[in-house]
Homo-oligomer: A and B are copies of this chain.
Amino acid sequence: MADAAPAAANKRLQMADIARLAGVSVSTVSRALNGSPLINDETRSRIAELARSLNYSINLGAQNLRLQKNQTVAVVVPYDAQSRQHISDPFFLSIVGAIADALTDRGYDMLLSRVDAERLDTAAALYDSGKAIGIVVIGQWRHHDQLNALAARKVPLVVWGGQLPQQLYCSVGGDNVGGGLQATRHLLQQGRKRIVFLGDAALPEVQLRRAGYLQALREAAVAPDPKLELPVPFEIIAARAALDRLCAGRTRFDGVVACSDLLALQAVQAVRAAGRQVPGDVAVVGYDDMPVATYSDPPLTTVHQPVAVAGAELVDALLALLRGERAAPRMLPVHLVVRESAPAGA
């Protein structure tokens, strides 16, 4: 009565079931399914066929426990707990897609996780608990220190972002100084001198782009004006409000260097709402070169970031780390794509 209970066979199939049905021991099934050369071909194919026909698949939780292995990488997309802002900037979504592709190609699974941007260190739980063998964090946000602490603890970690002094973790990022420099130089070459910098310099990537912006001004002997620096967050609504205030005020400007394409487009809308023309009165340069930049009105001059390459580099750096190699921070080249929001001809 205990053994032969025919009702409610709801339980998941396991190796012992296959073994019983095949009339062999579990070890034989294990060996057959794992392609051990010890098993004779007839037995192996009989077992393989049985497993396939029953949709049996080795339980990976048990296998991983036994083998002490794991093929899962966690990808962490921080979010702003204040504004409850969700994954939405196209750049983040797009780099997640690129990482998914790179991991799939290399035979790894991707666990997508969201953590509070103020507590990046909580991401370590994904590693400590064995859920993932390593972590990719998208962006440094305000917590270089927390990321350093994780690296000091030997958590396998790669971060998309800028390279900073005193950095213990491996980062992969675009050339932010170069990007800020190219964007600003381009505007200066068109004779623009009152150039707004749009982005929150508390974020390392933005800070580096700002350094490029300042360097370009210096090269052109244009004095920087703090009133032209708008430390807007990535959140679009607040950014728009700050832009509207700027347009309503007395501060003159004829160019904008924005830290994302979406910010650039908000700038376009704010400028137009104030009755001025883009690019006539104000030329605008974006950042990232997402698809929206080609379709927008006007199409955006913007700094292209190599997203697909970035995904592959992040993954390769993490895998190198896991092999015990030292992975040096990498900086990927960026380039300016000139479109109509800030054209080349004066």
Contact = CB atoms under 8 A, between A and B. Distances in A.
A61 B64 contact: yes
Nearest to A93: B93
A124 B55 contact: yes
Nearest to A324: B10
Interface in A251-308: 262, 265, 291-292, 295-299, 308
Nearest to A54: B128
B12 A130 contact: yes
Given A96-B93, A111-B110, A114-B104, A265 B295 contact: yes
A59 B127 CA distance: 10
Interface in A83-136: 86-88, 90, 93-94, 96-98, 100-101, 104, 109-114, 124-125, 128-131
Given A70-B61, A297-B299, A128 B291 contact: no
Contacts of A125: 57
A2 interface: no
Contact of A61 (B57, B88, B111, B130): B130
A101 B114 contact: yes
A58 interface: yes
Contacts of A38: none
Contacts of A299: 297
A299 B269 CA distance: 12
A62 interface: yes
Contacts of A114: 100-101, 104
B298 A295 contact: no
A238 interface: no
Nearest to A121: B55
5 contacts: A55-B153, A60-B129, A61-B131, A90-B291, A100-B112
Q: Pick the 4 closest A-B CB pairs, nearest first.
A: A297-B297, A57-B128, A87-B97, A93-B93
